[in-house]
């Protein structure tokens, strides 16, 4: 194995120390580098942990599933939580309280139905040929240079193009999309710095201004609603169920953000993990990389092992109990997806990357009515991108330690230089 350090070890004592005093708003650097020993300590010692701000952090798989299942008791609406965080009238507040993921029915139901209408099994299958061409063009460019960066030159370029196609964003106008997405999602971190807040608000304003022009153009020249998500959102359902202008704009931003960083992290995390687990990489290379079922199983394990989205949130609508702990009405609950996906009560040898793992019922896409609407598309992107990268660069190697994103909610890398 290369001497490049990816996931530094953490002693049990240090993990317990962080777990005992855990505050998501003040996390130490070694937590960001490797949170999993801390998650293990929490599961063992305090699986429903009362946090310094009065909220509760859940780390057991069964407890997360129980909350996901009970949408009547646990709300996804973030107006109560986000108003003091972002301030009334701020662009970030308008965005994050209007987008699909942070709402309850009926808005959630209306928007999800419209989006899913353009993400049918047939529509996603029709994207595969174009996705293969895109991946091969990226690989050609990397090969011509003799190397590159797994994130900047490959992983991050794929979802921007795919989501750009879904929304019909002209190719020469896609430049700012990644930066806008990173800034808006970065503002979801438990601790929001003034710099993150300012950049997040500015990014929402700039993105919204851009989308107004794109929406006006699409109203004049509609696309095919079976494939063009923006046209479908504009036209609404045949019965006349249409989105308001704010709902339309903010959910266009959501579609890009939801499909961008999480898929970037899936691809980047997978290729870095294979470098860290060479025996698993060799086992994968010994088989047929174009075997859809085999690669699909591997993708599920990448999703479980290093979940792109590590944290979710709910609010208790009434007094209830989770994991034997009483929660008061109004309690804010953080669902630790990264911890649940390493729970030994659900997964055998959870800290081992096993690309042939059977019955892999991970929670990387959530569960219940808020399960990720784009999960089939993300799986397709992961399978094609990872498989074709390995087929082209079987002996790739990291040339320096990759740079983590430095965030608790979204786990991935900013940079991962490599050669072959």
pLDDT tens, position by position, 59-72: 999 999 999 999 99
Mean pLDDT, rounded, for 103-118: 84
State both tokens at 6.
Answer: 């990816």
pLDDT-derived band at 166 (thresholds 50, 70, 90) equals confident
* Helix 177-186 with 157-167: angle, nearest 10 deg: 100
Neighbouring-strand partners of residue 397: 419
Can you list the alpha helix ranges (DSSP code H) found in 277-398?
278-286, 292-305, 337-340, 375-392
Is the pLDDT assigned to residue 376 strictly greater than 60?
yes
- Tell me if 164 sits within 8 A of 174, measured CB to CB: yes
Collapse the DSSP code of 299 into the 3-class scheme (helix H, G, I; strand E, B; otherwise coil) and give the result.
helix
Q: Tell me the per-residue pLDDT of 34-50, one tens digit each, with 9 for 90 and over.
A: 999 999 999 999 999 99
Q: Phi/psi of residue 322, each to 5°?
A: -135, 125
* End-to-end Cα distance, the chain: 15
Domain extents for the chain?
A: 12-419
- pLDDT over 70 (residue 240): no
Residue 330: pLDDT band (50, 70, 90) is very high
3-state secondary structure 147-170: EEEHHHHHHCHHHHHHHHHHHCCC
H or E stretch covering 141: helix 128-145
The residue assigned the tokens 């784009």 is 374
Instruction: Show the beta-strand stretches assigned E in 286-349.
Output: 311-316, 320-322, 325-327, 332-336
Listed residue (33, 2, 9) closest to 281, CA to CA? 2
Fold classification of 12-419 is Cytochrome p450 (1.10.630)
What are the b/e assignments for 54-75, b being 16+ CB within 10 Å?
A: ebbbbbbbebbbbbbeebebbb
Q: What is the mean pLDDT of the chain?
A: 93
Length of the chain: 420
- Can you give the pLDDT at residue 1? 43
The per-residue pLDDT for 304 is 98
In this structure, how many other beta carbons lie within 10 angstroms of the beta carbon of residue 394?
13
Higher per-residue confidence, 406 vs 52: 52
For residues 277-304, average pLDDT: 94
List residues bridging with 336 in a β-sheet.
311
Burial profile 3-38: b = 16 or more Cβ within 10 angstroms, e = fewer: ebebeeebeeebbbebbeebebeebeebbeebbbbb
Alpha carbons 115 and 187: distance in angstroms, whole number:
24
Show the beta-strand stretches assigned E in 15-109: 48-50, 56-58, 74-75
Per cent of the chain over pLDDT 70 is: 98
């Amino acid at each position: 194995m290369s001497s490049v350090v990816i996931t530094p070890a953490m002693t049990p004592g240090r993990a317990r120390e962080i777990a005992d005093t855990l505050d998501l708003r003040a996390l130490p650097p070694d937590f960001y580098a490797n949170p999993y020993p801390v998650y293990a300590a929490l599961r063992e010692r305090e699986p429903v942990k009362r946090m310094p701000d009065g909220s509760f952090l859940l780390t057991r798989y069964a407890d997360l599933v129980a909350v996901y299942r009970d949408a009547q008791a646990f709300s996804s609406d973030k107006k109560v939580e986000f108003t003091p965080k972002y301030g009334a009238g701020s662009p970030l507040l308008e965005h994050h309280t209007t987008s699909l993921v942070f709402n309850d029915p009926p808005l959630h139901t209306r928007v999800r139905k419209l989006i899913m209408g353009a993400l049918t099994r047939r529509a996603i299958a029709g994207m595969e040929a174009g996705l293969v061409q895109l991946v091969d063009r990226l690989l050609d460019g990397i090969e011509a240079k003799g190397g590159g960066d797994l994130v900047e030159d490959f992983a991050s370029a794929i979802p921007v193009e795919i989501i750009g196609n879904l929304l019909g964003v002209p190719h020469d106008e896609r430049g700012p999309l990644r930066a806008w997405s990173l800034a808006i999602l970065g503002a979801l971190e438990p601790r929001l710095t003034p710099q993150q807040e300012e950049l997040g608000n500015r990014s929402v304003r700039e993105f919204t201004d851009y989308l107004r022009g794109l929406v006006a153009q699409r109203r004049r020249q509609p696309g095919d609603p079976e494939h063009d998500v923006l046209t479908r959102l504009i036209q609404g359902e045949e019965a006349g169920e249409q989105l308001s202008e704010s709902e339309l704009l903010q959910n266009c931003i959501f579609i890009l953000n939801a499909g961008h960083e999480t898929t970037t992290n899936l691809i980047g995390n997978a290729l870095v993990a294979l470098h860290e687990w060479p025996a698993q990489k060799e086992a994968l290379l010994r088989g047929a990389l174009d075997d859809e079922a085999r690669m699909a199983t591997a993708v599920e394990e990448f999703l479980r092992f290093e979940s792109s989205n590590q944290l979710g949130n709910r609010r208790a609508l009434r007094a209830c109990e989770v994991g034997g702990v009483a929660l008061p009405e109004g309690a804010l609950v953080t669902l630790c997806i990264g911890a649940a996906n390493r729970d030994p009560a659900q997964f055998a040898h959870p800290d081992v990357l096993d690309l042939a793992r059977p019955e892999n019922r991970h929670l990387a896409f959530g569960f219940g009515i808020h399960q990720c609407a784009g999960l089939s598309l993300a799986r397709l992107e992961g399978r094609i991108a990872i498989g074709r990268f390995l087929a082209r660069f079987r002996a790739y190697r990291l040339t320096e330690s990759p740079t983590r994103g430095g965030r608790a909610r979204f786990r991935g890398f900013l940079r991962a230089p490599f050669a072959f």
